[in-house]
Amino acid sequence: MQTKDEAESYIYQSYLKAEKYLNFSDKDALKRHPEYTKDILQKLSKKPAITVTGSKGKGSVAYMIAEILQTEWNVGLMTSPHISDFCERFRFNGKQMSDKDFVNCAEKIKSQFDKIEKALLPSEYISPIGLQAAVALKYFNDKHTDINVIEHGKGAKYDDVTNIIHQYVAINTIFLEHTRELGKTLPEIASDKIHTITDDVKIVASAEQNPEVMNIIHKQANEKKCKLLEYGKDFWAKNIKFSKSGMVFDVVTSQNKYTDIKIPLFGIHQAKNCALAIAVCEQILPDINILKMKQKLSALEWPGRQEIISSDPFIMLDASINRVNAESVKETLKNMDFSKVATIIGIPDDKDFLGVAEVMADISEKIILTKSSNPHYIFTEKQIDKLEQKGMKAIYTNSLSEALNLARAYHLPTVILGTTSLISDVKNIKLSS
């Protein structure tokens, strides 16, 4: 392969070949085969690693962990999905992987996966996340990282990331999401995600959890004989204050109290994410340089996470696709003294667009539904009917540009909530304006 487009296409090639033979409604257990990548990923696992799972905020936690560890070490970071550029998924010491390195690493792992591909049935495939993880580990090995931070996909039991040999795990809050693939109940979803706690794991740190979920995490940690740290018991964030540029708060752990942590991010959940990241890093770096850590955290940049992309007029952007995410956005808006906004929602039909609208309804003067440019997602005017059945009025638009023009006409603070592809569309509009 010669180009970045060819390398990116290779990541998805196996899945796209098999897609027509797959049943969309099947659980991951019936479709995914992480065993195909296990040997390759384990051979590429040359350095200590941390995996990050949960239902939301995995990327934020992984990013914060990587930034803190960079105070002492060379750190590789893999997250997904990306916003604008596929290479955003791979970072070395905070710097995005170059197109050239992406092509080279993809080419170097290709022959091993091609041998596997030849033996597969038409309905079988090598997961894109497995290929992506192999590219990441090859890149990190070439860069001689000291430790790697890897974000899981939606699950863990059938997620190839679990194949990476890792010693540390961070589990963000688990709630109902991806029910089609992972299970219809919270215990089912938790039972999938806790498979990231493997025999090699020494330390697990968990965010706030439903008691049922916490019991499941406890059981797995006990079976694997690893140390478990819990939010609210072993670490927590407190004294959270909002400003126009972010938040200031304290983090308390069993080992230390870190005062006046500043991050240029919004949402109480981000303060809790930071506490989770610090709790993990304390176990790896017992003598964290607090000044360097604070400097790293104060310079965080994490697009599409309650990101203020314009102050005049006010526009906030967040990758919210469910009720829980929207609650956090609304909490932030209230802490910033916004009582009425125009809300643009761009969430596919099969996600929780209704829950997001219900949460935002009481502070939304106008609700505008829209769609992203990604052809793989389905957005229809049926969403209007669903909202009307719940007593909410909304306007349907066929593009993000149309939605933004409508919002501007109302002269209201604007909040854009949607799937990652919509976030990418916003960035592209912003860059071209």
Amino acid at 374: N
- 384 contacts 396 by C-beta, under 8 angstroms: yes
pLDDT tens figures, 339-350? 999 999 999 998
Residue-range definition of the domain harbouring residue 151: 4-298
pLDDT of residue 324 exceeding 60, the answer is yes
Which band of pLDDT confidence, cut at 50, 70 and 90, is reported for residue 386?
Answer: very high
Instruction: Give, to the nearest 10 degrees, the angle between helix 420-432 and helix 400-410.
Output: 70
Beta bridge partners of 242: 247
| CA–CA distance, 297 with 361 (Å, rounded to integer) | 33
Closest of 398, 305, 401 to residue 60, by C-alpha: 305
For the domain that residue 361 is a member of, what is the CATH number? 3.90.190.20
Q: Kindly state the helix (H) or strand (E) to which residue 403 belongs, with its residue range.
A: helix 400-410
The pTM score is 0.87
Neighbours of 327 (CB within 10 A): 17
Q: Which residues make Cβ contacts (< 8 Å) with residue 360, sequence separation at least 6?
A: 326, 329, 330, 341, 343, 345, 367, 415, 417
Which band of pLDDT confidence, cut at 50, 70 and 90, is reported for residue 52?
Answer: very high
Neighbours of 218 (CB within 10 A): 16
pLDDT tens figures, 261-300? 999 999 899 999 999 999 999 999 988 999 999 999 999 9
- 56 contacts 324 by C-beta, under 8 angstroms: yes
pLDDT tens figures, 37-49? 999 999 999 999 9
**What pLDDT score does 431 carry?**
45
Lowest-pLDDT range of 102-111, 201-210, 371-380: 371-380
Q: Kindly state the helix (H) or strand (E) to which residue 187 belongs, with its residue range.
A: helix 186-193
Residues 266 and 369 in one domain: no
The average pLDDT across 101-115 equals 97
Query: Alpha carbon of 264 to those of 134, 243, 313, 319: distances in Å?
Result: 32, 9, 19, 17
Residues 348 and 270 in one domain: no
pLDDT of residue 420 exceeding 60, the answer is yes
Q: Tell me the pairing of strands 395-396 and 364-369.
A: parallel
What is the number of structural domains in the chain?
Answer: 2
| CA–CA distance, 183 with 413 (Å, rounded to integer) | 38
- 186 contacts 66 by C-beta, under 8 angstroms: no
**What pLDDT score does 83 carry?**
83
Residues 176 and 27 in one domain: yes
Amino acid at 117: E
**What pLDDT score does 51 carry?**
98
Query: Which segments within 109-219 are labelled E, that is strand?
Result: 147-151, 168-171, 203-206
pLDDT tens figures, 148-165? 999 999 899 999 999 999
DSSP letter (8 states) at residue 166: -
Closest of 331, 357, 366, 362 to residue 418, by C-alpha: 357
Residues 276 and 344 in one domain: no
Closest of 47, 4, 262, 279 to residue 147, by C-alpha: 47
**Of all residues in the chain, what percent carry a pLDDT higher than 90?**
80
| CA–CA distance, 144 with 152 (Å, rounded to integer) | 22
The average pLDDT across 301-316 equals 88
Residues 401 and 267 in one domain: no
- 331 contacts 337 by C-beta, under 8 angstroms: no
Residues 278 and 371 in one domain: no
CA 184 from centre of chain: 21
The average pLDDT across 244-250 equals 91
DSSP letter (8 states) at residue 196: G
**What pLDDT score does 97 carry?**
98
Does 313 sit behind a cis peptide bond, omega within 30 degrees of 0 on the bond before it? yes
Task: Kindly tell me the burial class for residue 17, based on how many C-beta atoms sit within 10 Å of its own C-beta (0-12, 13-18, 19 or more).
Answer: middle
Q: Which residues make Cβ contacts (< 8 Å) with residue 14, sequence separation at least 6?
A: 113, 117, 120, 125, 126, 127, 128, 131
| CA–CA distance, 3 with 182 (Å, rounded to integer) | 35
Residues 274 and 218 in one domain: yes
For the domain that residue 130 is a member of, what is the CATH number? 3.40.1190.10
pLDDT of residue 430 exceeding 70, the answer is no
Lowest-pLDDT range of 5-19, 212-226, 248-262, 298-312: 298-312
| CA–CA distance, 261 with 250 (Å, rounded to integer) | 6
Residues 232 and 150 in one domain: yes
pLDDT of residue 147 exceeding 50, the answer is yes
Report phi then psi at 246, rounded to 5.
145, -140
pLDDT of residue 128 exceeding 90, the answer is yes
pLDDT tens figures, 172-189? 999 887 777 888 899 999
Q: Which residues make Cβ contacts (< 8 Å) with residue 402, sequence separation at least 6?
A: 370
Residues 287 and 400 in one domain: no
Which band of pLDDT confidence, cut at 50, 70 and 90, is reported for residue 311?
Answer: confident
The average pLDDT across 245-273 equals 94
Q: Which of 298, 315, 349 is the last residue of a domain?
A: 298
Residues 210 and 315 in one domain: no
Residues 137 and 207 in one domain: yes
pLDDT of residue 363 exceeding 80, the answer is yes
Give the CA angle between residues 75, 77, 82 to the nearest 5°. Answer: 155
Does 211 sit behind a cis peptide bond, omega within 30 degrees of 0 on the bond before it? no
Residues 285 and 317 in one domain: no
| CA–CA distance, 368 with 426 (Å, rounded to integer) | 15
Q: Which of 298, 333, 352 is the last residue of a domain?
A: 298
Average model confidence (pLDDT) across the chain = 94
The average pLDDT across 117-131 equals 97
Q: Which of 270, 298, 326 is the last residue of a domain?
A: 298
